[in-house]
Amino acid sequence: MGTTTQTLEHNLDLAAIRRQFPILNQQVNDKPLVYFDNAATTQKPLVVIDALKNYYQKDNANIHRGIHTLAERATADFEKTRDTVKEFIGAVHREEIIFTKGTTEGINLVAQTWGRANLKEGDEILVSGMEHHSNMVPWQMIAQEKKAKVIIIPINDAGELLMDEYEKLLNSRTKLVAVVHASNALGSINPVKHIIQQAHRHGAVVLIDGAQSTSHLDIAVSDWNADFFVFSGHKVYGPTGVGVLYGKRELLESMPPYQGGGEMIGEVRYDGFTWNELPYKFEAGTPNIADVIALKAALDFISVLGKQNIRSYENTLLQYAYTKLESLEGIRFIGTAKEKVSILSFVFNDIHHQDLGIILDKEGIAIRTGHHCTQPLMGRLCITGTSRASFAVYNTIEEIDRLEAGLKKAIKLFR
């Protein structure tokens, strides 16, 4: 792979990167696979697959409770991931890192613990108009229960937050602001540091949904002064079923536990229990040990390549894709924010996105079509869905040429 890619300006060895992803090397419908559904989930490098295999072949044991060698080894590796995550997202304390199943669970945890303890009737939760259902429904649920209100921060047609409107919405009733760092449907990058500063002025806490940003952008929770930050392992080249909730120590300490069970307790009597300390207070039961351990390999993989290199390469792919697809008759790009991650959403007025997806799949090209779990956003933009190509570090210029050719073929079939 990658003769023309060699001419691109970046510091990445694409051939070596692609060798890390054996899954890419296959035929789909008799065509070489082009995987452009990275915003849904990224593929996994060999280092991650090997970490999983290695754990089950050599180290498997339940953690934190055993005194035997395997248990110690597994515990040490598990806890090493916590340190790596801490560095990766710029947190100060390791106990601020809570392992979850993913972004969705992290948000629900905050809604059900912090939200239940702190929200009351008349309180306001601000969420943006471009949120994934995962950062919308948990707030609607707790708001309903507490008779609080969920208020939407509006966006413009390009898919950018209206920051003036945001500032006007903030007031003393605002208890929480929950905003996505990078939109999964549009790619827009939101100015999270500024959003956090503004919210803090009114005493509101802020949760940042980093599901789509963590593999592409520098994350600096402490520098931003974020209260909560969540992401999923499977979108950062890591395994499914593992994610991270970052919370400021004081906040996490003041929150009641989420689930009860083993690990999360200090002492249990027949008539009651005490909580364990952070982070274990929020990690009830045997955790997802193997996937947590393999998450470290994924984050190391990103760090070795370098976020700057990844970002600059992915941006080259995005700009190339824009120039290629722009010339297709009737195409309309959805999400044209100035600051974007490598997500390209588009529609044709006369071709349904589902039809496009079916034909591209026949051409071996995997894209995502539909509402991308952002139905309110689709309503705001007056569309029912989009076709979305999202790029990762292993994608190539040739693959974008394939996408262009596939779209041309589809257009010919449909028109």
Partner 1 sequence: MNISIDDIQKEIIEDFSILDEWDDKYAYIIECGKKLKPLPQEYKNEEHLVRGCQSQVWLHAEHKDGLVYFYAESDAIIVKGLISLLIKVLSGHKAEDIVKSDLYFIDKIGMQSHLSMTRSNGLASMLKTMKVKALLFLEQEKAN
CB of 236 to ligand PLP, least distance (A): 10
Residue closer to ligand PLP by CB (options 5, 188) is 188
- Three-class SS state of 134: helix
CB of 375 to ligand PLP, least distance (A): 13
Nearest alpha-carbon partner for 176 in 245, 107, 86: 107
Q: What does 180 bind: partner 1, ligand PLP, none (CB cut-off 5 to 8 Å by kind)?
A: ligand PLP
Residue closer to ligand PLP by CB (options 179, 410) is 179
Residue closer to ligand PLP by CB (options 5, 128) is 128
Tokens of 365: 């090209």
Amino acid at the residue 332:
R
Is residue 405 a contact point for partner 1 (CB under 8 A)?
no
HSE at residue 32, side-chain half, CA atoms within 13 A, is 11
Is residue 29 a contact point for partner 1 (CB under 8 A)?
yes
Q: What does 104 bind: partner 1, ligand PLP, none (CB cut-off 5 to 8 Å by kind)?
A: ligand PLP
- Pairwise CA distance, residues 177 & 161, whole Å: 13
Q: What does 287 bind: ligand PLP, partner 1, none (CB cut-off 5 to 8 Å by kind)?
A: none
- Pairwise CA distance, residues 186 & 188, whole Å: 6
Q: What is the DSSP letter of 37?
A: B
Residue closer to partner 1 by CB (options 118, 384) is 384
In the window 337-396, what residues touch partner 1 (CB under 8 A)? 351-355, 358-359, 362, 369-370, 384-385
The string of DSSP letters for 189-250 reads: BP-HHHHHHHHHHTT-EEEEE-TTTTTTS---HHHHT-SEEEEEGGGTTS-TT-EEEEE-HH
Q: β-strand 343-348 against 174-180: which pairing, if any?
A: unpaired
Residue closer to partner 1 by CB (options 274, 349) is 349
CB of 208 to ligand PLP, least distance (A): 10
Residue closer to partner 1 by CB (options 79, 355) is 355
CB of 195 to ligand PLP, least distance (A): 15
Amino acid at the residue 12:
L
- Pairwise CA distance, residues 310 & 304, whole Å: 10
Which positions lie near ligand PLP, rule CB under 6 A?
102-104, 132, 134-135, 180, 184, 209, 211-212, 232
Tell me, yes or no, if 373 is annotated catalytic.
yes
- Pairwise CA distance, residues 240 & 44, whole Å: 10
Give the binding-site size for partner 1 (rule: CB under 8 A): 16
Is residue 192 a contact point for partner 1 (CB under 8 A)?
no
Considering only 104-112, 208-216, 220-228, 407-415, which stretch makes contact with partner 1 by CB under 8 A?
A: 407-415
Q: What is the DSSP letter of 24?
A: G
φ and ψ of 174, to 5 deg = -70, 115
* Omega within 30 of 0 (cis) for the link into 279: yes
Nearest alpha-carbon partner for 51 in 299, 283, 392, 305: 299
Nearest alpha-carbon partner for 396 in 321, 340, 334: 321
Q: What does 184 bind: ligand PLP, partner 1, none (CB cut-off 5 to 8 Å by kind)?
A: ligand PLP
CB of 84 to partner 1, least distance (A): 35
Is residue 413 a contact point for partner 1 (CB under 8 A)?
yes
Q: Which candidate in 24, 127, 341, 373 is catalytic?
A: 373
Catalytic residues: 373
**Interface residues with partner 1 (CB under 8 A)?**
29, 351-355, 358-359, 362, 369-370, 384-385, 409, 413-414
